[in-house]
Every structure is written in structure tokens, then in C-alpha cells.
Structure 1
Amino acid sequence: MTPPVTGRRRLRPLTTAVAGVVGTAAVTVALVATGTLSVAQGRVGQGARQLGDPDYGVCRGTDARCYHDWGNFDTAKGYKVLLYTRTAGPRHANLGPALAPGMNPPLTETNTVQKALLTMGADNGFQVDYTEDVSQLASPATLFKYNAVVFYSTSRDTLDDAAQTSLRQYIRGGGGFVGVHNAFGTEYNWPWYEGLLGNANFYDHGANQPGTVETVNRKDVSTKNLPSRWEFSDEWYNLVPAPTKVRVLAEVDESTLAKGVAGNYHHPGHGDNHPVAWCQYYDGGRAWLTTLGHDAKDFTTDGSFPGAAEFQKLLLGGIESAMGKAPFCK
């Protein structure tokens, strides 16, 4: 028998399965911690329960055998990322005004995300193309020119049928995907995409406020240079469903959120298990995800915005690992 747990135990996002009641027998609750596949012991945080664990019919999780190394990427030619920021609904201010059609159209001073990732790529040895033109995603042959595709605060139905098919074929052929912030508010009615996010979707969020991020896995390239706890401000997304079969990398400590975690649609938060970054293999490809990234100040470099440097390290590591430039999901 597992000994009782003392003190505060950090649990990973989990699924609650309720066994049937036989006669007067008590209900047994089995809790599976998805980050390490260990069984939770004795307690659960006071957050939302039973948020769903559907089967997407693909190989997914932390087992590298789910990855398809089919020779679609020649790294001798260097590394290249496609940044996609099209919005078909709410648009975050850090994206700036909508972009003109085509690839790499002119940017304004307020297209903060696009400019920041261009700088990140230039400083770290990979090329970044950017677009909000869905026709640029219409062919798998086009996507296979990129080692990873980054969806940064896209929203709603941002892909048409051709782009959906193309993205799925790209991932199945070993492509890398990075989903940032409102990538979780995208393609709500496409189950395959929900699975790509780790069996997760944006439901609501509370106040945009400071909080403490806990780095719960420091082996991954995206987190190995981060402190165990660091301050940051964000909207702290609440998720339905919540991620399963993933490796959780970072969580927010809900007790540090002075304005509370309950969302505008009354999600009660995730209690002791509120993930903000994770990774998984999915349907042949690699997927690295974070709900962080709301504010344009996330990309400041002068130390004026707490956690900006840590967020940039997190994101850079996620991009580099998703595209195969660094080890993935360790």
C-alpha cells in the first residue's frame, strides 16, 4: 500500500474515473497523473473535476514512438518556422493590426508578436516567415518547408478545409506545432485540433493579474534554464477539457492570484493542477503548448516586465524542440 502523503503535493492535470457502485460499496475514484503516469495519492486540489479525456484515435502522449521520422525535413538546409496569427474572432492587441495577404507582408510598430519572433529567430539561428493568409497553409508541400508551425493567438475558425487537411498531413509527416495563448481559442469544433493541443481548450479566464509560475519539469529544453518559481502576469486560462497524456512543464500557483482564478463564465479554476505549458507527441508530429503570452510586454528585454525573460526562454525552447533543433519533451 502506498504510504500517506504529507505536506503539499503537486499533482499534474488528471482524469477522474468513477467506478460503479456495487450494493452498498463506496465509490472508488482513480486519479491518473498524466505528466508522469503516476497515481495521485490521497488528495486533489479544489479545482474543476471530470473535464474529459476523449480518444482522438491517434497515437499521442510522451512516447517518442508516436513520432513519424519519415525524412520530410533536411536540417542541413537550416531551420525554418512559419508563424501564423490569423484571427477570425477576438484579436489580441500584441498582434497589432491584421496583416495584408501573402507571405511576410509589411509590419507596423504594434505588430509586436511578429517582430519579436523575427528577432528571436535571427538571434538563435532559425528563419521565420509569417502570414495571416490562410491560402499560404493550403498545401502540405508548402508546410513541409518549415520545421515547425507556430499558432500565436489565432482565434475561432482561422483555417478553411484545405488548410485543415494540410495541417493534419503535415503533423502526420513529422511536423512540429507550437500553440501559444489563444491558439487554445481556435478551431473549437475540430476534435483533431483539440487533441493536438493536448486534449485541451480555452473555456474562460479571470482577471489579467500577476501570479507565480512553478517550473514543475526542469529537464526539458524549454524549462531547464528557468527558476523553480518565477513571477509573471497573464490571463491564466481555465481549460475544458484539461490536458491529459502530456508532459506538464509549468503550472501557475493559484494561491498567488490575488484577484482569484474563477473565470468570467464561472470556471472555478484547476486547484493544485493548473497547467500553463506542456508537450506531447501527436499523430506523428511534435506539439509544444503554452497558455501564456497575452501581453505585448512579454517581449520586453529591459527587465521592466517581471517574467518576460523567463517567458522568452520558455517559448524559444518550445520552438526549438518542436522543430527538432533541440531534444523534444524530455
Structure 2
Amino acid sequence: MPVATLVYTRTTGYRHDSIPHAVRALRTFGLAVRHTEDPAVFERALDARPDAVVLLSTSGDVLTPSGRERLAAYVDGGGGFVGVHAAACTEYGWPYYGNLLAARFDRHPAYQPGRVRIADHDHPATQHLPPYWEFTDEWYDFRSDPRDDPTVRVLAYADESSYEGATMGGDHPLVWCRDPERPGPGPGRMFYTSLGHAAEAYADPAFRSHLAGAIHWTARHS
């Protein structure tokens, strides 16, 4: 059966031009994709218990109070959550969401080429990638280190020597997940990738495999 995937792309802050390209890409991954930007539709779809929920370059406050309750209940009830890129720029005023994601966006330098260091190849989202992956993105800095949460497993780091404007001090997580075998805010799997700013990313075979692997793992289909 295809992975039932609820994709939410509502924005109340910055809006990425890549969003429609990203949604089209997800529809080619063999997923059963339901995409919406309507909070009411999103809430009803959560009640149907999809295999995975993807917040894809959302920004600002995108959930109603009821939506927050339903998303928390979904994750705490075992649902899988994937955050892509600006999902870390979302719901700053909701502590649960910050704990779920394990870090929030702070700033980024100019969009530019750089290098990703893969730290863990034992994950479907990174197993196909070389030890050092040349990529172009915004190289997000975060307000805190996701490793402050002991349940977080970091999969990839930024090589800060490969681009200009880094501020996190060299040891710079970019991609991480939460191991469901460890205690956490809920039993559902969580995956976050800070990559995916530009439309070109969603035509890149390596990035597409990265994202597809993340969704299938989070939905417990790999």
C-alpha cells in the first residue's frame, strides 16, 4: 500500500517559491499524497490518521488551537512527522512544536553552494549519499543545538568551511531524527531536514531520495 502522506504548506510568513515544485515531487515518490493549505482540511485529515504528516516549508503561525491539539494527539499517538526546511520557522509560540522539532530556525547566510557531511549512513534518508555531499542551499543556523535533546540522532552536518556566513561554530547539525526506541515527547517518529530551499532541489535525484527515504522511514515503511 502507498504511504498515506498528509502534506501541509500553509505560510503566514516568508513563502518559498519552491513549494509547488516540492509538492509535485512528492507526488512522484509512490506516496498517496493529500496536500492542503487549509487549516480545517488539515485538521480533518489528521483525524484520518495518515502514515506520515509533512510540514513542508511552512512559516509563521499556521495552525489553529484545534490544529495544535490534533497534531499533538497524532504524534503522541504514534503518528510520523517530517519537517522540511522552513518547518523550523513555524509556530514559534507553541512550546510543544519546538520540543517536537528539537531546534528552531535562527538565521541563514546567502543562498550558496556548500558541503554536507554525512555522519550516519544507517538511515534510509542518508544511506545513498557520499560522505561529503556538494549541495546548494541556505545553510540554516538554529537557536539551539538539537543534540541538547538526548533522543535526537543527527544524520548530517554542515561543513562550515565550505561556505560563507556560518555562525554555529563548526559543529553544525543540518538533518536529524528522533529514535522511536528512546523516550521522547511522543511515540511517533520525527525527521527534520533543513535542506530544500530552492525548486532545483526537488529535481535533484540525491535530494529526492533523501526526502523519500525520510518519509518512508517516518511512516515505518522502511
Q: Which residue of structure 2 aligns with residue 136 of structure 1? A: 41
Q: CA RMSD in A?
A: 1.4
Taking structure 2 as the reference length, the TM-score comes to 0.92
Larger strand proportion of the pair: 2
Equivalent residue of 1:119, what SS? Answer: coil
| Corresponding letter in the other structure for 1:210 | P
Determine which of 208, 214, 221 is the counterpart of 1:318. Answer: 214
Distance 1:94-1:140 versus aligned 2 partners, 3 A rule: closer
User: For the Cα contact (< 8 Å) 1:217–1:248, is it kept in 2?
Assistant: yes
The equivalences for 1:29-40 within 5 A come to none
Equivalent residue of 1:149, what SS? Answer: strand
Q: Which residue of structure 2 aligns with residue 120 of structure 1? A: 29
The equivalences for 1:1-330 within 5 A come to 78-95=2-19, 111-121=20-30, 126-139=31-44, 142-144=47-49, 146-198=50-102, 200-244=103-147, 245=150, 246-257=152-163, 259-261=164-166, 269-280=167-178, 281=180, 282-300=185-203, 308-326=204-222
User: For the Cα contact (< 8 Å) 1:140–1:166, is it kept in 2?
Assistant: no
**Percent same amino acid among aligned pairs?**
41
Number of equivalenced pairs: 214
User: For the Cα contact (< 8 Å) 1:81–1:150, is it kept in 2?
Assistant: yes
Equivalent residue of 2:25, what SS? Answer: helix
| Structure 1: 5+ residue stretches without partners | 1-76, 96-110, 262-268, 301-307
Distance 1:116-1:273 versus aligned 2 partners, 3 A rule: same
Distance 1:201-1:143 versus aligned 2 partners, 3 A rule: farther
By how many angstroms is 1:143 displaced? 4.3
Taking structure 1 as the reference length, the TM-score comes to 0.63
User: For the Cα contact (< 8 Å) 2:85–2:194, is it kept in 1?
Assistant: yes
By how many angstroms is 1:140 displaced? 7.5
| Corresponding letter in the other structure for 2:145 | A
Instruction: Select the structure of larger CA radius of gyration.
Output: 1
Equivalent residue of 1:120, what SS? Answer: coil
By how many angstroms is 1:272 displaced? 2.6
| Structure 2: 5+ residue stretches without partners | none
By how many angstroms is 1:250 displaced? 0.6
Distance 2:189 2:48 in 1: 14
By how many angstroms is 1:260 displaced? 2.6
Q: Which residue of structure 2 aligns with residue 42 of structure 1? A: none
Segments of 4+ in structure 1 off by > 2 A? 137-143
Larger helix proportion of the pair: 2
Distance 1:141 1:236 in 2: 31
